[in-house]
Amino acid sequence: MLETRRRYARGSPLTSDDHASFFEQLFNTNPAIKLLIDPSDGRIVDANASAVRFYGYPADVLKQLKITDINCLDPEVVLANMAKAEACQQLFFEFKHRLANGDVRDVHVYSGPVCLGGREYLHSIIIDVTDEKRYCALLETYNDLFHNLPVGVYRNSAEPESRFTAANPAMLTIFEAESLQALLSVRPSSLYESADELKSFIADLERDGVVSRRPLRLRTLKGALIHTEVTALRQVAEDGSVDFSGIVEDVTARHAAEVNRDRLTHLLDASPDIVSIADGQGRVVYLNKAGRDLFGTLPDMLADALVSAHPPWVRRLIEEEGIPYAMEHGYWYAETAVLGRKGEIPVSQLIVTRRNQSGAIDSIATIMRDISQVKQHQAELEYHAGHDPLTGAVNRNRFLDLLIRERKRARRSGEPLSLIMFDLDHFKRINDTFGHSVGDMVLKKLVLTCRGLLREVDVLARWGGEEFMLLLPATPLLGAVYLAERLRQAIAEEPFPPVPILTSSFGVAELGPEEAEAHCYKRLDAALYRAKANGRNRVCVAEPEALSGSLPDESR
């Protein structure tokens, strides 16, 4: 081998043996991975030490393999590529080779024909490019991220001549820059809306080396105000130079939504209505101030906790009707009640359901308004509409409505129903002698006196002037006569100063099951007329329904 080197150095011609020896030296001592392959069948004829280390097979084992045992391509494709290399049609290839441990590596193969001992072989140099390809793929990924991220990515130099040195396309969009050069020519500090925000941001970055998601108000190159969140990193190079890298996220739309949400929250908290919102799992995610004042602030409150604030009858109504109806139609409205310190509080309640794009329930909102005053006002209106303003007795219209209701009930139950008509004797004299104010006092006290003897189901009505009517459910004629006599005595014994004596006359009748009300009124009126004609201060029973006839129309 030494002699071969000397001949080569002197420029003497090399023999074929010299060539073989020289090739063998280069093949075995070269640090590159090398294989010698028989092109006829792909058998590995020889492999250098670097190849043994790379493929992980013992040398004798590796030399018993074929290249198709290592190459991951189909054997036919491998043999076709070997033929191209043998014919010098293609000398460079990209393959995947499988190692002894099963790992697959990306390799570049430079392969060409050599003649040794009168036979032709393929001399293949293998370069492992697995890590290089991974690094390139990683660089490509980073490059894609840099250019395609919807958030701005930048790098800028330090003051005093700070400038952007790199920016992705999203930065151009965020800052309304017409070109990359336009943005790179701008000083970053000129984009800040507030000098104080800039000063604080730089101070924190110099102190900590990093600032994460800092809210900043910035201006675009066209002067528009944008709300952003900026993350920045301070970096020091080996030469001591400083630059900054960061991410800018435009949150202007989110900021506007948060402002609107805050406005809405303020409005809802100022509302006297109770407003709650539960998610699809029934967990309350919002409860306004009126609701918190009533129910308390439970961190993990469930919608069931709100339902429990209702009386039992409302819970049943909501569970059996309200929620199912709202699930189907999107809303449900009713008058319900909640439990307060003084008992039930009437409320108007609206339940609204919202579904997501897949159709599942996304949220359930409940709005409850205290209608106590409305109910009280409504009750007062109904009371005044159905009662005499002077005495508090029901008026004639209300009496007629109640009579219809009681007649239906009497027909269903078969119970008797009686009426009493009465008025004050010589009431005109009281008004003429003592004045109408005394007359009004007498009427009011008369009603109070009568109510002391009546049941809760009995109805006392001012029929007109000093005339009154009594409706007595489940009362036969004899019971009504007994009550009329007690009332007559109570009125006669009750003092009505300055009136010295006050008496009253009564007509009593039991209403027939199919008798017309107007006919019964005539019978009562006739009985009352007889009481007046027979000396007043007495009770007279009306003629039976079949015997009643026309009535005289005379003054009492």
Q: Give 72's contacts (C-beta < 8 A, 6+ positions apart).
A: 95, 96, 97, 98, 104
Question: 3-state DSSP call for residue 341?
Answer: coil
Q: Is position 466 annotated as part of the catalytic site? A: yes
Q: Which candidate, 186, 133, 175, places its Cα nearest to that of 151?
A: 175
Rounded distance, CA 466 to CA 428, Å?
Answer: 9
Rounded distance, CA 483 to CA 474, Å?
Answer: 13
Helix spans in 271-395 (H): 289-295, 303-307, 312-317, 323-329, 372-386
Q: Give 418's contacts (C-beta < 8 A, 6+ positions apart).
A: 472, 475, 476, 477, 479, 480, 508, 509, 510, 511
Contacts 24+ apart (CB under 8 A), 445-448: 445/494, 445/496, 446/391, 446/491, 446/496, 446/502, 446/504, 447/391, 447/392, 447/393
Torsion angle of C-alpha atoms 180, 182, 185, 191, degrees rounded to 10: -100
Place of tokens 């809210």: 215
Task: Dig out the tokens for 216 from the structure.
Answer: 């900043």
Among residues 76, 466, 510, 514, the one annotated as catalytic is 466
DSSP at 191: G
Rounded distance, CA 248 to CA 126, Å?
Answer: 46
Rounded distance, CA 270 to CA 262, Å?
Answer: 12
DSSP at 543: P
CB 508 within 8 A of CB 527: yes
Question: 3-state DSSP call for residue 546?
Answer: coil
Question: 3-state DSSP call for residue 154?
Answer: strand
Paired with 210 in beta bridges are 233
Count how many Cα atoms sit within 13 Å of the Cα of residue 550 in the half-sphere of its side chain. 3
Q: Which candidate, 320, 330, 382, 322, places its Cα nearest to that of 355?
A: 330
Active-site amino acid positions: 466
